[in-house]
Chains A and B, each alone.
Chain A
Amino acid sequence: MTRYIRRAAALSLFLLAALFVNAVRVQVLQADGLNGSPANRRPAIARYDEPRGDIVVDGRAVTGSKDTGEQLRYERIYLDGPLYAPVTGYSSQTYGTTLLEHAEDGVLSGTDPALAPLPFWNEFTRSERPGGRVLTTIRRSAQEAAYQGLAGRRGAVAAIEPATGRILALVSSPSYDPGLLSGNSPAVTEAWRRLNGSASHPMLNRAIRQTYPPGSTFKIVTAAAALEARVVTDPDAPTDTADPFVIPGTRTTLPNPVPGCHRASLVYAIKWSCNTVMANLGVKVGLEGMLATAGRFGFNDDSLRIPSGVAVSNVDRRMSVDQLALSSIGQFDTTATPLQMAMVAAAVANGGELAHPYLVDRTTTWDGDTVRETPRRSYRRAMFPATAHELRRMMVEAAERGTGTRALIAGVTVGGKTGTAQHGVGNTGTPYAWFIAWAQERDAPRPAVAVAVVVEDPEAAGGEISGGGDAAPIARAVMVEALKPVPRR
């Protein structure tokens, strides 16, 4: 019997050895594949196991974390959700992340290797780092002023510090509370469905993700092109544009909002927004020149990140002469994001040099050690300093004595440009009211702020549907806040 007992023992040993070999197969050989399975909940559980790092505005967190005690433990909360939604985006257990929550997810969720004290520290300890903090460039007061100025109307505001590119305000209206999307309950699904189905598109970030026909605000770009191409050498000299002006290649005459545009100078054309003069100058500059100048302001750049991606502002690369004429006054296919038009104003204010716009000042670990700091970077030289100097003068004229007087601030140099863009089939839709501007204290070395405001549905009060009427006061309110000294913390 001994021999058979030995054999039975050997069989049992073989079975147990097979278990070991199989365990090696599962735990070593197949581990990576199984760990990466989309049905494996562990990455999601690990992701929400620690409170997410906060997004900070002016030294105060505008986000927070709520311990739900559930499997996906921490949910995002937003302290001033609708106000900062175009900056933060949402962080949802169900729908992922957007905007800063997306662009800085590595830092916020604690997975960014730069958060660890040593390289490969996380891999070694297998532990999660606490989420880091993202300090934004947003000025709380400017953001609030813009949001309150829009007062729930559809529209957007983007404000930049021209010398640095720091984005001081980024507002889209109507907005939504990203906190509604944080968790994974049926209420979240319902909120998602309702927000996406809403006719007012509250989740659309109009400041950087929506493009509008820029209307007359684009005339600054056209003016820059005309000066750069030396189509205009003396801005104060009369141009050869007749009023009425027939669009080249058509029998259509271009209307003007004001009288006096016949053979008007460039300064007058900007000040009173003469369509005829600017369309004619654009045609004279030609497609190549217009594209080159617009490109230096940021048009047709699909790689702009702040760090969230920015929608491409468009000037068509192939156009007939009549199309070019219309494009030169911000119509036809020309479209721009509010951020793009703020960049136009910023380039003028900053002497022609355009700083790269950015939204994240720096990121830190949870206890404040800097992880990364966004350096000031030049985006492009948009124009010669001399051109910028002339454009500054024209914008100041427009603000002080032209269409933009409602943006004026006592004791401050303000340059502005209004715009009213038609849209819809046969221009039947409500026009957009645009205003772009910059402001500089009289004794300050640099302008404090450049801003672009667009209001989609201005209340057409007595036919005064204009950037000057609807958008300029909002721009003014934002600039007033941005001009105040930065509070020390």
Chain B
Amino acid sequence: MTATAAEAPPPERPRPARRRGVELSLLVCAVLISVYGYADVGLARSGAVPRDALAYGAGLGLLALLAHLAVRLRAPYADPLLLPIAVLLNGVGIVLIYRLDLETPGDRAAPAQLIWSTLGVALFIAVVVLLRDHRVLQRYAYISVVTALVLMIVPILFPAVNGARIWIRAGGLSFQPGEFAKILLAVFFAAYLAANRHALAHTGRRIGPLQLPAGRVLGPVVAVWLISVAVLVLERDLGTSLLFFGLFVVMLYVATGRTGWIVVGLLLAGSGAFAVGTLEPHVRGRVESWIDPYASIAAGDGPSQLAQSMFSFASGGVLGTGLGAGHSILIGFAAKSDFILATAGEELGLAGLTALFLLYTLLVAQGYRAGLDLRDPFGRLLAVGLAAILAVQVFVIAGGVTGLIPLTGMAMPFLAQGGSSVVTNWIIVALLIRLGDSAREPHPETVEPGVIARAPGPAGHGGPADPAGHAGSGGSAYPAGPSAAEEAR
């Protein structure tokens, strides 16, 4: 916290509004909407409000309140939309899972989801309270990447679930470590690219229109990326593989500004997808099902999961059938996880689906907003990376279940059943809160009378500035903003 406001009677720049009251009222709305949905399911199904509706509302409200207090005390300048959106998505997700639980009395998932959400919010609070400055993370870049790789390799030792070796099972709980790996990889990429972006952009040999960076600069990051992708292909988790790929390409592009990376990335993705699609029968099946979701119907084998999902969306139409009144359970075993969006599409209709897409868009937009407002390259890249994780994830899974792109198993952030996913997304939101707070927090040098903030920074063109591990140790003092030269590039 800064005490500067008291000692600076007429600040140069008006102190940014904290808008915590806005956040609180939005949170109340988010909780009320969720409780209304929960009650509506019960009313539609049995004509009575579910007995635990109050408990659900109280639980969600308490979580929201605690998270809000943490933000109010420790990140007062954070964007007020992020937390309400996360609470609303998580609350609606539990309503949808609870609604599907009614169709599968022997397999109830909503209580577990509520417990995982509680853990997620606890970690959210922990991150917001303990991580005072996001630049601290830069120090742990290499620890992050090693941890990420270990997390991705470990599940190979465990038995496959539905064809994918991405779970660790212990004591009845299953856990998807790859979900955490994506945050750790984003941290690593951000730190490494922040340190090496000039080398990546400006050194190396030129081959035709492409300028290849020196191998020693690009090597480590490509190696990490290749290993993560290889592990994922071995684990048959193509959704996450696609996510890492997208994350890597976006962050590399933002760090270096070279369109060539996008082209190379698309070529690599295309050839990789083609190779995997032809060689791997599991994936080939997904692609064939995407090209013609109704082939299995014509063949007399009944509708495929994807076809059932399309039936769900179509059945919802514009206004939806109403919560509890749809039949998305026909999709089968993944209805509560990968296909949760089909339940939203059927029972809330295009209207509800659009609302959900807008919530995700706002979440992603706030991530990019923080990236634009921040001034340290690590923070900017981390914000972009986290926003990209959310965007790519939403696109891949929503596009998959609506037949836009081939289906890959992935969890809709906050909405889908899955403990590791919910927990991870809460951490992502916590980091975005922290980044947004840092971006809008008034800095001593900007409000100090007589001092004009835009001093040229030490960033140069010659080589890596801010190598990982050096920055951030200064604590309160921000490095100066980006140089004019960099901004102009």
Contact = CB atoms under 8 A, between A and B. Distances in A.
Interface residues on A, range: 35 or more
A11 B250 CA distance: 9
Contacts of A292: none
Contacts of B318: 27-28
B307 interface: yes
Contacts of A23: 313, 345, 350, 353-354, 357, 402
A24 B303 CA distance: 22
Contacts of B487: 2
Interface string A401-438: 00000000000000000000000000000000000000
B482 interface: yes
Given A27-B316, A37-B294, A40-B311, A18 B391 contact: no
Contact of B391 (A12, A37, A38, A40): A12
Which of A8, A35, A37: most chain B Cβ within 10 A? A8
Contact of A37 (B311, B313, B321, B482): B311
Given A2-B487, A37-B311, A39-B297, A9 B387 contact: yes
Contacts, number: 140
B395 A9 contact: no
B255 A1 contact: yes
Interface string B389-414: 00110110011001110000000000
Interface residues on B, range: 35 or more
Interface in B260-287: none
Nearest to B354: A20
A135 B384 CA distance: 70
Given A1-B255, A26-B314, A45 B327 contact: yes
Interface string B304-315: 000100110111
Interface in A99-132: 126
B368 A8 contact: yes
Which of A6, A16, A23, A40: most chain B Cβ within 10 A? A23
A24 B403 CA distance: 12
14 contacts: A2-B372, A9-B364, A16-B361, A20-B357, A23-B313, A26-B313, A28-B350, A30-B314, A31-B314, A31-B315, A34-B311, A35-B315, A41-B327, A45-B327
A196 interface: no
Nearest to A40: B311
A27 B257 contact: no
Contacts of B395: 15-16, 18-19
A91 to B, nearest CB: 21
A126 B360 CA distance: 30
A126 B321 contact: yes
A40 B365 CA distance: 38
Contact of B398 (A2, A19, A41, A42): A19
B361 A9 contact: no
A6 B384 contact: no
A interface, over-half SS: helix
Interface in B163-205: none
Contacts of A3: 257
B394 A5 contact: no
Interface in A147-164: none
A7 B258 CA distance: 12
B353 to A, nearest CB: 5
B297 A34 contact: no
A18 B384 CA distance: 20
Given A35-B315, A126-B321, A1 B482 contact: yes
A484 B302 CA distance: 56
B69 interface: no
B388 A8 contact: yes
A18 B316 contact: no
Given A26-B345, A34-B311, 6 more contacts: A2-B487, A19-B398, A22-B404, A37-B303, A39-B297, A39-B302
Which of B313, B357, B384: most chain A Cβ within 10 A? B313
B380 interface: yes
Interface in B404-454: 404
Contacts of B360: 16
B254 interface: yes
Contacts of B364: 9, 12-13, 16
B65 interface: no
A1 B483 CA distance: 11
Given A19-B402, A41-B327, A6 B372 contact: yes
A381 B360 CA distance: 75
B292 to A, nearest CB: 13
Contact of B387 (A12, A31, A32): A12
B76 interface: no
A18 B310 contact: no
The 4 closest A-B pairs by CB, nearest first: A34-B314, A12-B391, A9-B368, A31-B314
A33 B317 CA distance: 12
Nearest to B325: A126
Contacts of B388: 8, 12
A45 B354 CA distance: 27
Contacts of B357: 16, 19-20, 23
A4 to B, nearest CB: 4
Nearest to B385: A8
Interface in B440-489: 482, 486-487
A347 B18 CA distance: 94
A2 B377 CA distance: 10
Interface string A21-61: 01110111011111101111110010000000000000000
B403 A26 contact: yes
B99 to A, nearest CB: 16
B402 A42 contact: no
B330 interface: yes
Interface string A136-148: 0000000000000
A24 B257 contact: no
Contacts of B380: 1, 5
A39 B395 CA distance: 28
A18 B404 contact: yes
Interface in A433-476: none
Contact of B399 (A22, A35, A38, A126): A22
A326 to B, nearest CB: 51
A18 B399 contact: yes
Given A22-B404, A27-B318, A39-B307, A16 B353 contact: no
Contacts of B377: 1
B402 A22 contact: yes
A377 B360 CA distance: 66
Interface string B341-379: 000010001100110010011001100100110000100
B253 interface: yes
A45 B328 CA distance: 12
Which of A3, A18, A19: most chain B Cβ within 10 A? A19
Contacts of B321: 126
B327 A27 contact: no
A194 to B, nearest CB: 25
A32 B307 CA distance: 14
B350 A19 contact: no
Interface in B238-260: 250, 253-255, 257
Contacts of A37: 294, 297, 303, 307, 311
Contacts of A34: 310-311, 313-315
A127 to B, nearest CB: 9
B315 A19 contact: no
Nearest to B360: A16
Contacts of A2: 372, 487
A243 B225 CA distance: 110
Contacts of B317: 27-28, 31
A24 B357 CA distance: 12
B387 A42 contact: no
B48 to A, nearest CB: 18
Interface string B123-139: 00000000000000000
